[in-house]
């Protein structure tokens, strides 16, 4: 479909405004601004260190997201608060944070990495209310150990939903994913080893699946080289996670694009991994654009909608590779590229 689109006062309109207009692009394909629903900019610390937060690094990595055409970001876990001057800057991506990573005190190996509490439901409500309506809990950690019990997980979901919030859950074990799905969690992050029965539960509850395939693809060569029983369990879980992407789509589960890895501004790679896992190209692009925006409550290319858009030389649904090469990037009505 070919039509004209204008931006007026930070909003999209399909009616030509009065007076002089500035042409940003002629021709091309316009896509609602990209979304990375799982990213942790500003995070510091290594694999064996508690996560920290560097405000300067956060600003740099936010800029990398923006310049790549990523107009909205969800942070399912940050060790610090989003600096107001970065969040409110002209042309800054829209940011949705879930506050701190939260872990139940009985969860294996969690104390060094996350905010640990016996009162997981109360803390989850506090984080959701203090941030953007989301909280992030660790459904499991060591996938050879028991996950958060169903009763605890369900209490979190009920408490957070009661105040209008939503819950994201880190899950990397089959039992952890199943407990989260049974509890009615709003988004499963990673989903390694996901049992097939989770698909129907997630579809019925309107839960999203965010497999973060980019991050796991980067770890696979290292795990494959270890030759240990634990590595074999990891690899088996990874294979299952990839297979579940297409099966989730077929079951009616919303699959979304989140990178959970550097370099920042690389959600196009996640789209490519989703396609390789069996998602139709249009669905994979939507997972990083209009579908993700709808899930987060952000409008797309509609009259009066937010002026977050990217112009490409070709239709990304047919040529996904063009996502890496935006011609124009507009965020909050500001031309940033």
Q: How does pLDDT run across 77-98, given as a tens digit for each residue? A: 999 999 999 999 999 999 999 9
pLDDT confidence bin for 74, thresholds 50/70/90 = very high
State the average pLDDT over residues 61-70: 96
pTM of this structure: 0.95
Q: Is the pLDDT of residue 111 over 60?
A: no
pLDDT of residue 265: 97
> At CB < 8 A and 24+ separation, what contacts does 310-316 make?
310/30, 310/31, 310/33, 310/34, 310/69, 310/71, 311/24, 311/25, 311/28, 311/29, 311/30, 311/31, 312/28, 312/29, 312/30, 312/31, 313/28, 313/29, 314/29, 315/29, 316/29, 316/31, 316/285
Beta strands 187-190 and 166-171 are parallel
Specify which residues 53 forms β-bridges with. 43
- Rounded distance between C-alpha atoms, residue 118 and residue 179, angstroms: 18
In the structure encoding, which two tokens stand for residue 206, read together?
């309107």
Which among 168, 166, 82, 180 is positioned nearest to 128, based on CA atoms?
166
Q: Is the pLDDT of residue 123 over 80?
A: yes
């Amino acid at each position: 479909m070919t039509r004209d689109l204008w931006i007026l006062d930070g909003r999209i309109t399909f009616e030509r405004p009065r007076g002089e207009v500035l042409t940003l692009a002629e021709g091309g394909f316009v896509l609602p601004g990209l979304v990375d629903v799982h990213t942790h900019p500003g995070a510091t610390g290594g694999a064996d260190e508690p996560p920290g937060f560097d405000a300067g690094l956060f600003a740099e990595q936010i800029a990398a997201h923006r310049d790549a055409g990523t107009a909205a970001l969800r942070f399912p876990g940050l060790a610090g608060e989003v600096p107001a001057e970065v969040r409110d800057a002209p042309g800054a991506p829209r940011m949705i944070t879930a506050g701190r990573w939260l872990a139940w005190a009985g969860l294996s190996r969690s104390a060094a990495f996350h905010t640990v509490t016996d009162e997981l439901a109360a803390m989850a409500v506090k984080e959701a209310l203090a941030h953007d309506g989301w909280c992030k809990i660790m459904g499991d950690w060591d996938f050879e150990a028991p996950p958060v019990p169903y009763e605890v997980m369900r209490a979190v979901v009920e408490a957070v939903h009661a105040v209008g919030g939503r819950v994201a859950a880190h899950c990397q074990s089959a039992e952890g994913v199943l407990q989260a799905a049974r509890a009615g969690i709003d988004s499963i992050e990673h989903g390694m080893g996901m049992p097939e029965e989770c698909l129907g539960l997630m579809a019925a509850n309107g839960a999203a699946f965010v497999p973060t395939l980019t991050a796991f693809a980067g770890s696979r060569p290292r795990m494959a080289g270890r030759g240990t029983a634990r590595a074999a369990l990891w690899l088996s879980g990874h294979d299952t996670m990839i297979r579940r992407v297409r099966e989730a789509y077929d079951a009616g589960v919303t699959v979304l694009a989140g990178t959970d890895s550097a370099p920042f501004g690389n959600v196009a790679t996640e789209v490519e991994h989703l396609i390789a896992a069996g998602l139709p190209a249009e669905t994979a692009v939507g997972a990083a654009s209009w579908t993700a925006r709808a899930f987060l409550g952000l409008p797309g290319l509609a009259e009066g909608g937010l002026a977050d858009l990217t112009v490409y030389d070709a239709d990304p649904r047919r040529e996904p590779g063009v996502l890496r090469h935006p011609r124009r990037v507009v965020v909050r009505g500001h031309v940033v590229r």
